[in-house]
Amino acid sequence: MKDRDPTPTAAGFSRRRVLAGLAALAGLAVPPTPGRAETDPTSLTIATWGGVYEAAQRAALFDPFTAATGIVIETARHDGGPDVPGRPEARGWDLIDMGAADAGAACAAGLLVPLDTAALPAPPPGGGATREDFLPGSFGRCALAHSTFATVVAYDDRAFPGRKPASIADVFDIEAFPGKRAFRRNPGALMEWALMAVGVPRAQIYDLLSTDRGIRLALRELDRIREHILWWEAAEAPVELLESGAAVMASGFNGRFFDARVMRDRPIIIIWDGQLVAQEAWAIPAAADPAHRAAAERFIRFATGPDRQAALAERLPYGPTRRSALERIGLHPVAGVPMADHLPTAPHRMDRALVIDSAWYANTEALRRRRFEAWLAEGAED
Residues of the shown chain interacting with other proteins in the complex, contacts defined by CB under 8 A: 198-201, 203-204, 206-211, 213-214, 217, 220, 359-360, 363-364, 366-367
Q: Between 153 and 194, whose beta carbon lies closer to other proteins?
A: 194
* Residue with Cβ nearer other proteins (43 or 363): 363
Q: Please state the closest distance from residue 370 (CB atom) to other proteins, in A.
A: 9
**Closest approach of Cβ 138 to other proteins, in Å?**
21
Min dist. Cβ of residue 211 to other proteins (A): 5
Q: What is the 3-state secondary structure (H, E, C) of the chain?
A: CCCCCCCCCCHHHHHHHHHHHHHHHCCCCCCCCCCCCCCCCCEEEEEECCHHHHHHHHHHHHHHHHHHHCCEEEEEECCCCCCHHHCHHHCCCCEEEEEHHHHHHHHHCCCECCCCCCCCCCCCCCCCCHHHHECCCCECCCEEEEEEEEEEEEEEHHHCCCCCCCCHHHHCCCCCCCCCEEEECCCCCHHHHHHHHCCCCHHHHHHHHCCHHHHHHHHHHHHHCHHHEEEECCCCHHHHHHHHCCCCEEEEEHHHHHHHHHHCCCCEEEEEEEEEEEEEEEECECCCCHHHHHHHHHHHHHHCCHHHHHHHHHHCCCEECEHHHHCCCCECCCCCCEHHHHCCCCHHHHCCCEECCHHHHHHHHHHHHHHHHHHHHHHHHC
Looking at the Cβ atoms of 120 and 367, the one nearer to other proteins is: 367
For residue 246, the minimal CB distance to other proteins (Å) is 31
Least separation in angstroms between CB 132 and other proteins: 21
Nearest residue (CB) to other proteins, 188 versus 255? 188
Nearest approach, Cβ of residue 250 and other proteins (Å): 27
Q: CB-wise, 72 or 198, nearer to other proteins?
A: 198
Nearer to other proteins, 7 or 211 (CB): 211
